[in-house]
Amino acid sequence: MTSDQALVRASACAIVDKLNSGEVTPLDLLDVLEQRVAEVESQVNALPTLCFDRARTCAKALMKKPAAERGLLAGMPIPMKDLTNVEGVLTTQGSPIYRDNIPARSDILVEHLEHNGGLIYAKSNTPEFGAGANTFNEVFGATRNPWNTSLSAAGSSGGAAVALATGMAWLAHGSDMGGSLRNPASFCGVVGMRPSIGRVAHTPVAKIDRNLGVQGPMARNVEDLALLLDAMSGEHPADPLSLPALPVSFLSAARSGGKPKRVAYSSDLGITPVDPEVADITRKAAARFAEAGAIVEEAHPDLREAHECFHVLRAFDFAISKAALLRSKRDLLKPEVIWNIEEGLKLSLEQLARAEAQRVEMSARTLEFFRNYDLLLTPATIVTPFPVENRYVTECAGRKFDNYVEWLGIVYAITLVCCPALSLPCGFTASGLPVGLQMVAPPRAEADLLAGAKLLEDILGIRGTTPIDPRKSPRLAN
């Protein structure tokens, strides 16, 4: 068998090839991961709940099948974000309310991944109910950024991003409402993608057509991300918004060599401040599309209503999904969650109607924008990783924010207009911290997005900078 360290550094696509050829077994991979978790987890707190025994039981059952029947992932281990139910495994949602919760049934996404040969071996850390882009909670504590363990890993899929960046995972599941796949990918130097609404089926909770939040893939590079998106995609009758799988795989799309003809870059989407160093790094990365013959221009759609619209629709989502907990368990909820729910309960019908109309108008303007551009590029986060003790970002470039989510406007604006988007590592700050470039495509155009991301990833030459051992202070990548 290939050495353990070499396996930790291998790409997910290479690992699946080794599984299919018989060079390694799913049990070998679980052994490698268990050793790696023992080495680094205590320094970062990314995977607080482990279920290796369950994963080995599933692996042995999978190995009884012929190789051709083991699914797309062929026995690839995957951690699930702790917001998503896994049968028989502690699932806390980062909340003291659920610190002892053992679901009797898995989410349909978990069932789908397991059907495709995925092995669930851990739950990744998340803030309480995924609220807030800093991964800490009262059950497990804070997840730390491996590039500098005194800093935040962002969130809410922070545990997933850190597991990837430190070699405790080859692929990871996450979810995204206001950038929760994109923010931690940016802070940790990995790739995180918010797919189109319905691309990944999941079990509906509280409302049958909730669509601000979606499930999605994280990985260390674009090809691996596309592989996991293929394994996640497909319709399910329990999720009426879910889309059928496409005839051409996303991995094939990533490898297609497709090139955008015209791309737009915006440092701020016209709605947010941005750290000057972040703007400079992302602008220079976007400009390199010109090396592939693309026209690169500074432009963005009109998204001026994004803050008001998202504030209302997010609050409404919290009200319909968490109001009962506010009534019965208020003392166990963190202040930010209480604020979200109470803001939702105060909403009038007029406010909701206005927000929904704003979303329709912004989506229409964005579709019109994409008649002229193939991709839209922005910073994935407007700041670099901040001290882990700070609950959220209070100001940027001299501007103070009104609430704890406003600093996420550059990503939640894209959520509102229903576009697939990913964060691609695009450079490092002077102090050695990773910066992500948000890449956005029209709705349901994940194939074009992945092809463009793979192209720029090749041009930038940053692929392979993870996994790393956790560092107490930042160090420039080699």
Give 29-38 pLDDT, tens digit per residue.
999 999 999 9
Model confidence band, residue 87 (pLDDT cutoffs 50, 70, 90): very high
Burial label for 96, CB within 10 Å (0-12, 13-18, 19+), is: middle
Cβ atoms 109, 203 nearer than 8 A: yes
pLDDT at position 475 is 54
- Domain containing 34: what range? 4-298+367-460
Retrieve residue 121's tokens: 């071996």
- Write out pLDDT tens, residues 128-173: 999 999 999 999 999 999 999 999 999 999 999 999 999 999 999 9
Provide the sign of the torsion angle of the four alpha carbons 351, 353, 357, 363, taken in this order.
Answer: positive
Counting Cα atoms < 13 Å in the Cβ hemisphere of 413 gives 31
Query: Is the Cβ–Cβ distance between 113 and 130 less than 8 Å?
Result: no
Distance of CA 303 to the CA centre of its chain: 22
Mean pLDDT of 238-260: 97
How much is the pLDDT for 5?
78
**Residue 313 falls within a domain, yes or no?**
no
The DSSP secondary-structure symbol of 242 reads P
pLDDT of amino acid 476: 44
The total domain count for the chain is 1
Annotated catalytic sites, by residue? 81, 156, 180
Tell whether 49 is covered by a domain.
yes
CA atoms within 13 A on the CB side of 316: 21
Does this model's pTM top 0.95? My answer is yes
Q: Bridge-partner residues for 215, per DSSP?
A: 175
Note the pLDDT tens digit of each residue in 309-343: 999 999 999 999 999 999 999 999 999 999 999 99
Residue found by looking up tokens 């964005």 in the block: 366
Inside any domain, residue 146: yes
Mean pLDDT, range 72-89, rounded to an integer: 98
Q: What is the pLDDT of residue 295?
A: 98
Phi, psi of 99 (to 5 degrees): -65, -20
Domain assignment present for residue 52? The answer is yes
CATH assignment of the domain containing 162: 3.90.1300.10
Whether residue 84 contacts residue 173, with contact meaning beta carbons closer than 8 Å, is answered with yes
- Each residue's pLDDT tens digit, 280-301: 999 999 999 999 999 999 999 9
- State the alpha helices, DSSP H only, in 288-431: 306-329, 335-345, 349-369, 409-416
Residue 474: per-residue pLDDT: 55
Distance separating alpha carbons of residues 46 and 144, to the nearest angstrom: 8
Question: In this predicted structure, what is the pLDDT of residue 51?
Answer: 98
Whether residue 1 has pLDDT greater than 50 = no
Tens of pLDDT, residue by residue over 180-233, are: 999 999 999 999 999 999 999 999 999 999 999 999 999 999 999 999 999 999
- 157 is a domain residue: yes
Q: How far is CA 231 from CA 118, 157, 379, in A?
A: 8, 19, 28
Task: Tell me, yes or no, whether 168 lies in a domain.
Answer: yes
At residue 260, what is the residue type?
P
Residues 233, 201: Cα–Cα separation, whole Å = 7
In a domain, 306, yes or no: no
Give the per-residue pLDDT at 477: 42
* Alpha-carbon radius of gyration of the chain: 21
Structural tokens at position 115: 């059907």
* Nearest Cα to Cα of residue 133 among 415, 466, 470, 471: 415
Average pLDDT, the chain: 97
**Is the residue at 355 inside a domain?**
no
Structure tokens at 14: 């290479």
Phi first, then psi: give them for residue 273, nearest 5 degrees. Answer: -70, 165
What's the pLDDT at 4?
A: 75
Could you report the per-residue pLDDT of 58-67, keeping only the tens digit for each? 999 999 999 9
| CA dist., res. 204 & res. 464, Å (int) | 36
